[in-house]
Amino acid sequence: MRTAFSAASSCAQRTAAVLVLAACAALAGCGGSDDDAPTVRSTAAGKLQGIDDSARNGTWAWKGVRYAQPPVGALRWRAPVAPEAWTGVRVADSFGPACLQIGRMFGPGANNRFDETIATTMGQPVGSEDCLTLNIWRPATDDSKLPVLLFIHGGSNISGYTADPLYDGAALAKAANAVVVTANYRLGVLGFLNLAQLKVGGSAGDDSGNFALLDNMAALRWLRANAAAFGGDADNITVSGESAGANNVLAVMTSPMAKGLFHKIVALSGGISLASNLPAGASPALNPLATWQAHGEAVLLNLLVADGTAADLAAAKAYVATRTAAQIADYLRAKDGHTVLNTALAKGLNTGNPIPDGTVVPLDPIAAIAAGQHVNVPTLIGNTRDEGKLFGGLLPLFGLPAGYIVDDATRFLMMARFNPDAATTLTTADIVNAAYLPVATPTTGYDARTRLITQALFEANSQNLLATLTTQQPRLWQYRFDWAQEAYPWNEVYGAAHAFDLAFLFGNFGPSVVGQVVGGNANRTGRLALSNAMMASLGAFMRTGDPNAGALGATWSPWPSKLLLDATPNALNTRPQ
């Protein structure tokens, strides 16, 4: 924008200048100078040059944007620190590295992308500690004051990465006319470690052990400061997460540190209940502080034994007693990250989840919600009908045989190489234990047995959360994803499994960990209708706090009602329950 100023009056000049600045702030494209391309935007730390994907998918994107300094060296196991400013224009056209993690099915492989190295790197450290970056997509238009979505990926809080094509935000940004953001965060023991010796007088966040949650909140603070530069409304931010990501955003909802950071919440297949909040036999989403304190000490002692500093755990404990807290903290921060993760993995300590520490997260988050001590905003809770079918390996916890007869690497390759439009010799019996076949057998079939996992872990936690939230707020919604139209045998192996709603919510059916399984021409019409309806509904919720949208084809009433999200191969089939 170029404005000619009259030289007649300095007062008139100042007035005109104010008007120009105000107009520029209101435009999505005013992220840089007058001559900047629409993909150049000015953040608080400096200018970014993004990607013009308008011809391909109608969006602009900025990838690998730092929202905090690398949490390495002295910053390991500390609250995230704001990124340093830069001069000039920084190119933001590729994803940042995945956070350091042990490779799993939902991990980044060797190349930080969906490829077959995901199978060959399972059980090995992959990624980098220099990983606190986010990615932004928005429609390639001049629209401003768009609603903003921050999505936190799942992966048991020990794996996952934003470069996963399942989380590409372009289709959702275009369909919902919104700014869509994904953010990496620290994982496993690098993201969750409650250890007395690390509490050496830093901030309250430094001393909490909840470093991953602090990363999540740092991303929200970054958006509050910079959303307008990308055409987003900093006063209309929805935070969302799935699985472990949902656990995190629900924990953030209860954090005293999160007030004012977001305005709506979408939590999919997660929970924040302790065992004390649930009926007997249910599996809590969270463990109490004492469990995490014992975990932190075990990580430290096993590292001392692994590097030969101590002969055994007893000797390691005696050694720790001779050192100051600062000396132990320095020892831990000097450790190679791969060594930390490998040791934790070998000793069964490679875990992560929100820690009810009493500072970042209340000691009893459900009790805090019941007392109204949470961020009270419109809330949407989602689950899938067959959550447990993704977790056949957990059936031994119920005294039953393992559900799968192939390891994760083999199952991953079966999925990645599957062509839903071609004839296949693959059968359910090639994947699922014969003890559970046919899958629909009452009581003993795979459907019935994995239903135990769905009920004990997912439904118990979500119902406890919903029943508590409803005492504090009426703006509460729930869906259940029922779509199970995959090509055989995946319709039997997975059906409406955990995480399968994500492809529909993001509108991504290309190659990804679930993409080959859910795709195909046979279900295309109904699948796309359901995806379009889900994206339209999410867009409506982001704008108004109400998920009703005409594309749903049904009225969605607040909880305790729920909306079943489903489709036949050829048509949308949503219905209230």
Last residue of a domain, one of 275, 295, 327: 275
In a domain, 509, yes or no: yes
488's tokens = 């055989």
Q: How far apart are CA 162 and CA 182, in angstroms?
A: 6
Residue 128 exposure: Cα atoms within 13 Å on the Cβ side: 11
Residue 246 sits in the same domain as residue 392: no
Residue 366 located in a structural domain:
no
pLDDT single digits (tens) 463-481: 999 999 999 999 999 999 9
Query: Do residues 270 and 379 make contact, with C-beta atoms less than 8 angstroms apart?
Result: no
**Beta strand pairing call for 563-565 and 476-481:** parallel
Look at residues 258, 275, 292 and tell me which one is the last residue of a structural domain.
Answer: 275
Q: Identify the H or E element spanning 416.
A: helix 408-416
Considering the domain boundaries, does residue 438 fall inside one? yes
Residues 78 and 222 placed together within one structural domain of the fold: yes
Residue range 525-544, pLDDT digits in tens: 999 999 999 999 999 999 99
Nearest partner of 520 among 567, 494, 487, 490, judged by Cα: 487
Mean pLDDT, all residues of the chain: 94
The band of 26, judged by pLDDT with boundaries at 50, 70 and 90, is: very low
Which residues are the active-site residues?
Answer: 243
Instruction: Say how many domains are in the chain.
Output: 2
| Residue 16 confidence (pLDDT) above 50 | no
The reply to whether 36 and 166 lie within a common domain is yes
Domain ranges, residue 140: 10-187+208-275
For residues 25-33, average pLDDT = 43
Per the model's pLDDT, the better-predicted residue between 332 and 201 turns out to be 332
Task: Looking at the structure, tell me whether residues 249 and 391 fall in a common domain.
Answer: no
β-sheet bridge partners, residue 135 = 182
Contact assessment for residue 178 and residue 147, using Cβ atoms and an 8 Å cutoff = yes
Percent of the chain predicted with pLDDT > 70: 94
pLDDT exceeds 90 at position 552: yes
Same domain, 562 and 426: yes
> In the listed set 246, 275, 304, which residue is the last one of a domain according to the structure?
275
Give residue 204's pLDDT. Answer: 76
**What does the DSSP 8-state code read for residue 25?**
H
Write the CATH number for 176. 3.40.50.1820
Kindly report, residue by residue over 196-247, the tens digit of the pLDDT.
999 877 777 888 899 999 999 999 999 999 999 999 999 999 999 999 999 9
Are 252 and 393 found together in one domain?
no
Report how far residue 219's alpha carbon sits from residue 212's, in angstroms, rounded to the nearest whole number: 11
Widest CA span in the chain: 89
Residue 198 within any structural domain of the chain: no
Q: At what angle do helices 211-226 and 244-253 cross, to 10 degrees?
A: 70
Q: Does a structural domain hold residue 563? A: yes
In a domain, 432, yes or no: yes
In a domain, 23, yes or no: yes
Structural domain contains residue 351: no
